[in-house]
């Protein structure tokens, strides 16, 4: 049997999924417990591998890893981190933004305090920088632990480092920063890098010729897992926030709305994120209440309550207004009616989001897959379908680790899917 392992380092833990040639899951392993922090990345990786039943480990042909986007670190010539990694949401890069604005094109995705490039520039001004030889993303470093070659990344992770994913090279303006560091060589996600280190192979009983592949980011891995694959297919994530992703022939970039595109094979994966979403529902209802009250709502009936549900003022997509006030009134006495208004209003915001992407040139939406905590709510899905006017379906799988396993399979097996995804 030929098996493929995808490993996901997300915001709340690490998971591994082993699939077969048909994409069927053979086993799932997870690391839960204390919060996932840098010193634990390495030991977590070994724990995950050890948890996979031995007979399956012997059949693993390829491994790929996804990390959280913009979680980055510096390491020395031997691959040892020279300082604690900066996690995805670390905003210390804010102090270098003015400097970055002088070289990066206006509205570029790197012009954010949490971008990989802002983090690198900030790190380059710290005392520990003198010991650093390589700058890597979380997924790059973890893959290095398996294959042993430093300085390799993929163009999903490298987007927020400023890598030009259209020309497939680092842009000239980046050189003007004159940061004395080895930037990673960038490969297409899923590309086999090299065989696993012999000592790791024998320690874990993996095949000597098991390939370690270039990785991706956690949100793109979740997109791959959904089953969406054609232009016009989209994935909405109904988690704490509302995140839209749409496969398109056209690349869309509009920093005003926080919209940017990842390269995805011959296509572009474009999207935006609104601050509305499940976090607002959680403010008013428990999950049990959401479930029972939703069952009492007739989704065919339109609620005329017109809210803009936010926890605090400000949204970027689909309305770009840092002062946009939350709108949650009038509030009816019946909780069911209030919830109906919230679900209906979020569905309007979602539809407006896809409309904005289309108005900016993205493909017409044909089908919307759904992931996240709200995806199980069939009432909400029916309301959303009424607004979106296209089929709304559940994602085939919502685990990033599963998407990353598909990525490893597509490239390493030279599968018919090899041209997809990346
Ligand atoms: P995160 O983005 O934090 O990973 P999840 O994908 O785990 O979020 O989703 C959690 C959110 O899902 C919560 O904010 C919760 O309000 C929402 N949620 C949970 N159950 C339901 C439901 N039945 N209907 C709508 N929303 C729900």
Would you list the domain boundaries of the chain? 3-219+400-412, 228-394
Query: What separation in Å is there between the alpha carbon of 392 and the centre of ligand 1?
Result: 17
**Is residue 366 in contact with ligand 1, taking CB distance under 6 Å?**
no
State which ligand 1 atom lies nearest to the alpha carbon of 241: 2
Q: Which stretches of the chain drop beneath a pLDDT of 50?
A: none
Provide the 10 A C-beta neighbour count for residue 230: 11
Determine the pLDDT at residue 420. Answer: 61
Dist. CA 255–CA 96, nearest whole Å: 19
Dist. CA 395–CA 377, nearest whole Å: 13
> What is this structure's pTM?
0.92
Q: How many CA atoms lie within 13 A of 23 on its CB side?
A: 15
Determine the pLDDT at residue 414. Answer: 64
**Is residue 80 in contact with ligand 1, taking CB distance under 6 Å?**
no
Determine the pLDDT at residue 256. Answer: 86
**Is residue 335 in contact with ligand 1, taking CB distance under 6 Å?**
no
Query: What separation in Å is there between the alpha carbon of 366 and the centre of ligand 1?
Result: 25
Identify the architecture of domain 3-219+400-412 in CATH.
Answer: 2-Layer Sandwich (3.30)
Q: What is the DSSP annotation of 375-422?
A: GG-HHHHHHHHHHH-S-EEE-S---HHHHHHHHHHHHHTT-GGGGS--
Q: What is the CATH number of domain 228-394?
A: 3.30.420.40
Radius of gyration of the chain (CA): 22
Dist. CA 179–CA 336, nearest whole Å: 57
- Residue 193: beta bridge partners? none
What's the ipTM? 0.98
Query: What separation in Å is there between the alpha carbon of 34 and the centre of ligand 1?
Result: 22
Alpha helices in 52-156 (DSSP H): 54-57, 97-101, 116-123, 138-147
Domains 3-219+400-412 and 228-394 share a fold: yes
**Is residue 291 in contact with ligand 1, taking CB distance under 6 Å?**
yes
**Is residue 311 in contact with ligand 1, taking CB distance under 6 Å?**
no
Determine the pLDDT at residue 45. Answer: 95
- Residue 308: beta bridge partners? 327
Determine the pLDDT at residue 321. Answer: 94
Query: What separation in Å is there between the alpha carbon of 372 and the centre of ligand 1?
Result: 6
Query: What separation in Å is there between the alpha carbon of 375 and the centre of ligand 1?
Result: 8
Strands 14-20 and 3-9: antiparallel
**Is residue 240 in contact with ligand 1, taking CB distance under 6 Å?**
yes
Query: What separation in Å is there between the alpha carbon of 15 and the centre of ligand 1?
Result: 20
């Amino acid at each position: 049997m030929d098996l493929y392992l995808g490993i996901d380092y997300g915001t709340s833990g690490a998971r591994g999924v082993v699939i077969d040639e048909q994409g069927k899951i053979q086993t799932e392993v997870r690391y839960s417990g204390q919060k996932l922090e840098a010193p634990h990345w390495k030991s977590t990786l070994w724990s995950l591998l050890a948890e996979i039943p031995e007979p399956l480990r012997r059949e693993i042909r390829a491994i790929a890893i996804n990390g959280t986007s913009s979680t980055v670190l510096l390491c020395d010539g031997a691959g040892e981190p020279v300082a604690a990694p900066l996690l995805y949401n670390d905003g210390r890069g804010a102090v270098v933004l003015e400097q970055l604005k002088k070289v990066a094109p206006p509205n570029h995705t790197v012009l954010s305090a949490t971008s990989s490039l802002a983090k690198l520039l900030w790190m380059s001004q710290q005392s520990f920088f003198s010991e650093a030889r390589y700058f890597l993303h979380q997924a790059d470093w973890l893959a290095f632990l398996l294959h042993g070659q430093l300085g390799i990344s993929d163009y999903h992770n490298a987007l927020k480092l400023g890598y030009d994913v259209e020309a497939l090279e680092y842009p000239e303006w980046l050189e003007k920063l004159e940061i004395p560091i080895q930037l990673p060589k960038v490969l297409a996600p899923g590309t086999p890098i090299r065989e696993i280190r012999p000592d790791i192979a024998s320690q874990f009983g993996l095949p000597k010729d098991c390939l370690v592949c270039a990785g991706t980011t956690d949100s793109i891995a979740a997109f791959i897992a959904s089953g969406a694959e054609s232009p016009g297919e989209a994935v909405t994530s109904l988690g704490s926030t509302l995140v839209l992703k749409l496969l398109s022939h056209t690349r869309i970039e509009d920093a005003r709305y926080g919209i940017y595109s990842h390269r995805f094979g011959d296509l572009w994966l474009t999207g935006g994120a609104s601050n509305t979403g499940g976090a607002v529902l959680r403010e008013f209802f428990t999950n049990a209440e959401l479930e029972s009250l939703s069952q009492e709502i007739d989704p065919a009936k339109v609620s005329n309550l017109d809210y803009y549900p936010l926890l605090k003022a400000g949204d970027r997509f689909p309305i770009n207004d840092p002062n946009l006030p939350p709108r949650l009134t009038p509030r009816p006495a019946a909780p069911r009616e209030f919830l109906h208004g919230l679900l209906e209003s979020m569905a309007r915001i979602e539809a407006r989001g896809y409309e904005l992407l289309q108005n900016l040139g993205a493909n017409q939406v044909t089908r919307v897959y759904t992931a996240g905590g709200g995806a199980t709510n069939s009432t909400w899905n029916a309301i959303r379908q009424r607004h979106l006017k296209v089929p709304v379906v559940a994602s085939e799988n919502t685990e990033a680790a599963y998407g990353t396993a598909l990525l490893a399979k597509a490239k390493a097996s030279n599968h018919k899917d090899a041209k997809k995804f990346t």
